[in-house]
Amino acid sequence: MDRRSFIKKAGLAGAAASTLAAPAIAQENQTWRMVTTWPKNFPGLGVGAQRLADRITAASGGRLTIQVYAAGELVPPLQSLDAVIDGSAEMSHSAAYYWQNKSAGLSFFTGVPYGMTSRELTAWVRHMGGQEIWDEIYDQFGVQGFLSGDTGTQAGGWFRNELTGVDSIQGLRFRTPGLGGQVWEKLGASVTNMAAGEIFQALQSGTLDAAEFVGPYNDLALGFYQVAKNYYFPSFVEPGLATELVVSKSKYQELPSDLQAIIRDCAQAEYDNVAADFAANDPRALQTLVDEHGVNVLSFPDEILEAGANAAKEIMQGLLDSDDALTKKTAESFVASLNIVRQKTEGTDSPFIQAREKYFHI
């Protein structure tokens, strides 16, 4: 083979390789849609969803760009999981207990009455088998779930009238979701769930007598103080609420391993960052509510706390006795893990907090 012939053939081979490689390179850059249940630029949660999307986009070098759609922009807020299941979106950012009609076990991955604090929940999911059970539940729907945000212990809610005992709950029209909603129903409330952006109008019109969403950081932005002035702390039904990032499992598994790791690790990082955001801004927002808007900060009467605990135990026992194998498995794992992790919380963390409150002020 002479030199000219070799160069000509090499050039043809290189051109062919380039032609074959081009589609593969083009396919590496993808744009995924993330639908959320949160209003656009919503403090803590909506901002956290956008920040998570930006983290994934940046960490992937643009190979996976996440485009965020706020509540109602692409699908109604409480249809975000269905959008991932039916392929209308690749991701959703929401809260797992919104989907308890699909599986009662999903409520355990958001907030359980008298259940785990956020740190305890993280321990269960990351290190005590919770994620694996969560995967089993979501496998039924072709999706994958990750913890994506942490509000900490939430506020108990906004009430037009003060609560004097269980009698004052009877017939109360209350917005609250998940297992916590079932507790309030047992106490006599008429419970409904609705997305964040719908609550204020329902309170203002009198459709609701009371509502809870998250806590001061969000509630200040939602304007509940304009309708109800009695603000109860803390919630006994949402002691450590987590949000979730849900991803189409087939799309996720098609990604190269490094992009899968980026999604997983960015979700974990943002879960922790949202917790810090709420820890920093909840106290400041509460101060604004009290000082500038005349909000009354109250604690639930002991009678309600005790009745709520009894109702929570009844509901938990029903889940432990469930005929649905995955719900039963989830409840058993949750309870077994709670009985371990609460030892540190109640034996170490709580006594320290009590001592600091009593003795250390600067």
Per DSSP, the three-state class of 226 is: helix
The pLDDT value recorded for residue 28 is 77
Q: What is the pLDDT of residues 82-94, one digit of tens each?
A: 999 999 999 999 9
Going from the first residue of the chain to its last (362 residues), give the mean pLDDT of each consecutive group of 10, the final group possibly shorter. Answer: 41 39 54 97 96 98 98 97 98 97 96 97 98 98 98 97 98 97 98 95 97 97 97 97 97 98 98 98 98 98 98 98 97 98 98 98 96
Contact assessment for residue 66 and residue 173, using Cβ atoms and an 8 Å cutoff = no
The pLDDT value recorded for residue 27 is 53
Tokens read off for 313: 């135990």
Tokens 């989830």, located at residue: 330
Model pTM? 0.90
Segments making up each domain of the chain, as ranges: 30-151+240-279
Q: What is the pLDDT of residues 138-172, one digit of tens each?
A: 999 999 999 999 999 999 999 999 999 999 999 99
The pLDDT value recorded for residue 11 is 42
Segments in the chain forming alpha helices (H): 3-28, 45-59, 80-85, 118-127, 130-139, 178-186, 196-205, 216-222, 249-254, 257-293, 302-320, 325-344, 350-359
Give the CATH H-level superfamily of domain 30-151+240-279: Bacterial extracellular solute-binding protein, family 7 (3.40.190.170)
